[in-house]
Amino acid sequence: MATTLNLRTIKLRSGEQFRDKREIQLEPLELGGQRYLPVPQEVPAELTITRASTGTVFELAFSVRLHGPCYRCLEDAVLELPISAREYQATNPESDEMRTPYLEDDRLDLSAWARDSLVLALPNQILCRPDCAGLCPVCGKNLNDEPHEHAEVIADPRWAALEALRTDSAGED
């Protein structure tokens, strides 16, 4: 269900500009094994296409919210992301830098472009809040809800001795 635009339907001449609002279908993102859902899934975007004799400039602007698990505590995190992207396609491209990967046979793949722009705009870590305390490495409880520390029982040699005894007796059964 990708949103595409057939450039043949626009017929831009050199020096002309096309400006339109488009609804772009966005797929859920898989990041680090987690699923992130763009809301709305059909995002209203502002598309601008400017044609010059040497090439065409494509500009896309939209705003989206991304829902998914917090990187540290796995609770729901919501990110508000304003996106603005730009692509260029030369009339006679001599290298890959002069063409956009989202254009093929006059069809502009708006969904793929929007998704990649969204991924590029993401922070390194998606967090429920900037100071999220995460999960306790010992017991796995959420440290935002229950801030706590554990006494270091394992470091106590008496506990280690007791643990050894218990293991020995279990082996004799």
State in angstroms the smallest separation of the CB of 140 from Zn ion.
7
Distance CA(62)–CA(25), nearest Å, equals 12
State in angstroms the smallest separation of the CB of 126 from Zn ion.
9
State in angstroms the smallest separation of the CB of 168 from Zn ion.
29
Q: Which residue, 70 or 118, has its beta carbon nearer to Zn ion?
A: 70
Per the DSSP assignment, residues forming a β-bridge with 43 are 24
State in angstroms the smallest separation of the CB of 109 from Zn ion.
34
Q: Which residue, 2 or 136, has its beta carbon nearer to Zn ion?
A: 136
Distance CA(56)–CA(90), nearest Å, equals 6
Q: Which residues form the interface with Zn ion (CB under 5 A)?
A: 70, 72-73, 128, 132, 136, 138-139
State in angstroms the smallest separation of the CB of 138 from Zn ion.
4
Q: Which residue, 73 or 79, has its beta carbon nearer to Zn ion?
A: 73
Are the CB atoms for 60 and 102 separated by under 8 Å?
no
> Which tokens hold the place of 10?
């626009």
Distance CA(22)–CA(43), nearest Å, equals 8
Q: Which residue, 45 or 70, has its beta carbon nearer to Zn ion?
A: 70
> Which tokens hold the place of 11?
């017929």
Q: Which residue, 149 or 168, has its beta carbon nearer to Zn ion?
A: 149
Local structure of residue 61 (DSSP, 8 states): E
Phi then psi dihedrals of residue 19, to 5 deg: -135, 130
Per the DSSP assignment, residues forming a β-bridge with 51 are 56
